[in-house]
Amino acid sequence: MPEQIQRRSALVAVYTEGASANGPNSETGLMIHERHPLTMFDIGGDASDKAFLTAAEKAVGCPLPTTPNTVISADTLRVLWLSPKRWLCVDSSDGFDVRDISVGAVNNVSSGRTVLRLHGPRLRDVLAKGCPLDLHLKNFRFGECAQSKIGGLNVLLDHIDDDTFDIYVARGFARTFWEWLIEAATEYGYLVEKSLIRPVITSNKAP
């Protein structure tokens, strides 16, 4: 039988569902939702090698984007371009087994990052307090990603939809980022939404 494990969120001590602060006129300018747990893995390979790209698409179930700072998604999987030879694959389904991927250099980083989905009418105002990027829709479009800094911390931003970003931050800095985010969002009002905590099913196959 597959084994069920429980991944512990790096924010478990500070993530309080339903916590909120009202902005002007009792507005809620930002909604915060932790995406947890996720299966995340890096794939390394040569984007100029068509054989590698074909094999990777077959193994992962989604093409690897070759245009810098773009994202390709299929079903529950998103693949983010990180460099000409590196991609981050993110899957939100149960039972995705990284050990089934046998092409390129694969590294399971599921426990290495905390991912927060931020959405709301004041999203860009909040992030502008600590991010040097121009996040206006005309400059940072749907299906694009970018590596930058927010509040002095290295982050990866994924533009999901209008006024919706996923922010990836290293697990070790998750609480520092959380404290910055809450402070930055208080002016506009925020709501901490329910975080989906579920078992992650893993197979008994040998590593």
Task: Give the mean model confidence (pLDDT) for residues 151-171.
Answer: 96
Fold for the domain defined by 1-37+112-196: Gyrase A; domain 2 (3.30.1360)
- Look at residue 95 in the predicted model and tell me its pLDDT: 64
Rounded to the nearest integer, the mean pLDDT of the chain is 88
Q: Give long-range contacts, CB 8 A cutoff, 24+ apart: 165-169.
A: 165/117, 165/118, 165/119, 165/123, 165/127, 165/135, 166/35, 166/115, 166/116, 166/117, 166/118, 167/115, 167/116, 167/117, 167/118, 168/88, 168/113, 168/114, 168/115, 169/113, 169/114, 169/116
- Look at residue 172 in the predicted model and tell me its pLDDT: 96
Element containing residue 155 per DSSP (H, E) = strand 153-161
Residue spans of the domains in the chain: they are 1-37+112-196, 39-109
Closest to 106 (Cα-Cα) out of 115, 97, 98: 98
- pLDDT confidence tier of residue 60, bands split at 50, 70 and 90: confident
Q: Is the pLDDT of residue 139 over 50?
A: yes
Task: Give the mean model confidence (pLDDT) for residues 66-88.
Answer: 94
Fold for the domain defined by 39-109: Alpha-Beta Plaits (3.30.70)
- Look at residue 179 in the predicted model and tell me its pLDDT: 97
CA distance 88 to 92: 13
Q: Is the pLDDT of residue 176 over 60?
A: yes
Pair 67, 134: CB distance under 8 Å: no
More confident residue, 158 or 3: 158
- pLDDT confidence tier of residue 75, bands split at 50, 70 and 90: confident
- Look at residue 132 in the predicted model and tell me its pLDDT: 97
